[in-house]
Structure 1
Amino acid sequence: MFDSPLSASAYEVLQVAADVSDDDLRRAYRLRLRQTHPDTGGDAALFVQVQRAWERIGTSEARAAYDRGHGFAADAAQYAPEPSDAGGTGWRPRARATDTRPRARSFGQPGGWRRERYLTLMREWVGRGAELPDPYDPALVRSAPRELKRLLADALAEEATARIVADLGMGYTVWHDIAADPRDATLTLDHIVLGPSGLYAVLSGDFGGPVRLRRSELIGEGVAGSPIADLAAAARVVARGARVKFSGAIVVLPDDDVAAAVEEIGRVRGLAVAVIARSTLSTVLRRGLSGARDIGGNELFDIRTRLQQSVRFL
Structure 2
Amino acid sequence: MFDSPLSSSAYEVLGVDPTADEEALRRAYRLRLRQTHPDTGGDAARFIQVQRAWELVGTTDARAAYDRGHGFGDAPAPEYGPDAPSWRPQGGPADTRPRARSYGHPGGWRRERYLSLIREWAGRGVTVENPYDPALVRSAPVAVRRLLADALAEEATARIVSDLGMGYTVWHDVAASARGGDPDEKLDHVVLGPSGLYGILSEDFGGPVRVRRGELIGDAVDGAPVAGLLARMRVVARAAGVRFGGAIVVLPDDDVLQPIEELGRIRGVPVAIVSRSALSAVLRRGVAGARAIGGNEVFDVRTRLQHTVRFA
TM-score of the superposition, structure 1-length normalised?
A: 0.93
- Deviations along 1:102-152, one digit per CA (max 9) or x if unpaired, are 111100000001012112222321354222222222221111000000000
Residues 187 and 233, structure 1, Cα contact 8 Å, conserved in 2: no
Matched, 1:53 2:53: yes
- Deviations along 1:1-22, one digit per CA (max 9) or x if unpaired, are 1000000011110011222222
Give the Cα separation in 2 of the matches to 1:33 and 1:246.
45
Give the Cα separation in 2 of the matches to 1:160 and 1:62.
26
Corresponding residue for residue 292 of structure 2: 294
Taking a change above 3 Å as real, the CA distance of residues 122 and 85 of structure 1, as seen in their structure-2 partners, is closer
Amino acid of the residue matched to residue 151 of structure 2?
A: A
Deviation at 1:98, TM superposition (A): 9.9
Give the Cα separation in 1 of the matches to 2:81 and 2:146.
29
Corresponding residue for residue 92 of structure 1: 87
Give the Cα separation in 2 of the matches to 1:41 and 1:182.
49
TM-score of the superposition, structure 2-length normalised?
A: 0.93
Matched, 1:101 2:97: yes
Deviation at 1:80, TM superposition (A): 5.2
Range moving further from structure 2, 119-128 or 82-91: 82-91
Taking a change above 3 Å as real, the CA distance of residues 230 and 243 of structure 1, as seen in their structure-2 partners, is same
Residues 157 and 205, structure 1, Cα contact 8 Å, conserved in 2: yes
Residues 55 and 62, structure 1, Cα contact 8 Å, conserved in 2: yes
Give the Cα separation in 1 of the matches to 2:309 and 2:95.
30
Range moving further from structure 2, 280-289 or 29-38: 29-38
Amino acid of the residue matched to residue 88 of structure 2?
A: P
Corresponding residue for residue 34 of structure 2: 34
Give the Cα separation in 1 of the matches to 2:238 and 2:245.
14
Amino acid of the residue matched to residue 216 of structure 2?
A: L
Segments ≥4 residues shifted beyond 6 Å: 95-98
Give the Cα separation in 2 of the matches to 1:119 and 1:55.
31
- Deviations along 1:42-100, one digit per CA (max 9) or x if unpaired, are 2222111111111222222222222222xxxxxx3342561656544646232986963
Flag structure 1 segments of 5+ consecutive residues without an equivalent.
70-75
Deviation at 1:23, TM superposition (A): 2.2
Q: How does 1:1-314 map to 2 (within 5 A)?
A: 1-69=1-69, 76-79=70-73, 82=76, 87-88=81-82, 90=84, 92-94=87-89, 100-182=96-178, 184-185=181-182, 187-314=185-312
Range moving further from structure 2, 191-200 or 175-184: 175-184
Q: CA RMSD in A?
A: 1.9
Residues 79 and 138, structure 1, Cα contact 8 Å, conserved in 2: no
- Deviations along 1:236-265, one digit per CA (max 9) or x if unpaired, are 111111010101000000001001110000
Taking a change above 3 Å as real, the CA distance of residues 128 and 117 of structure 1, as seen in their structure-2 partners, is same
Taking a change above 3 Å as real, the CA distance of residues 31 and 157 of structure 1, as seen in their structure-2 partners, is same
Give the Cα separation in 2 of the matches to 1:80 and 1:122.
17
Partner secondary structure for residue 208 of structure 2: coil
Partner secondary structure for residue 224 of structure 1: coil
Flag structure 2 segments of 5+ consecutive residues without an equivalent.
none
Taking a change above 3 Å as real, the CA distance of residues 190 and 142 of structure 1, as seen in their structure-2 partners, is same
Amino acid of the residue matched to residue 19 of structure 2?
A: D
Taking a change above 3 Å as real, the CA distance of residues 284 and 127 of structure 1, as seen in their structure-2 partners, is same
- Deviations along 1:213-233, one digit per CA (max 9) or x if unpaired, are 111000101100000000001
Give the Cα separation in 1 of the matches to 2:274 and 2:77.
28
Corresponding residue for residue 72 of structure 1: none
Taking a change above 3 Å as real, the CA distance of residues 220 and 176 of structure 1, as seen in their structure-2 partners, is same
Deviation at 1:25, TM superposition (A): 1.4
Range moving further from structure 2, 152-161 or 95-104: 95-104
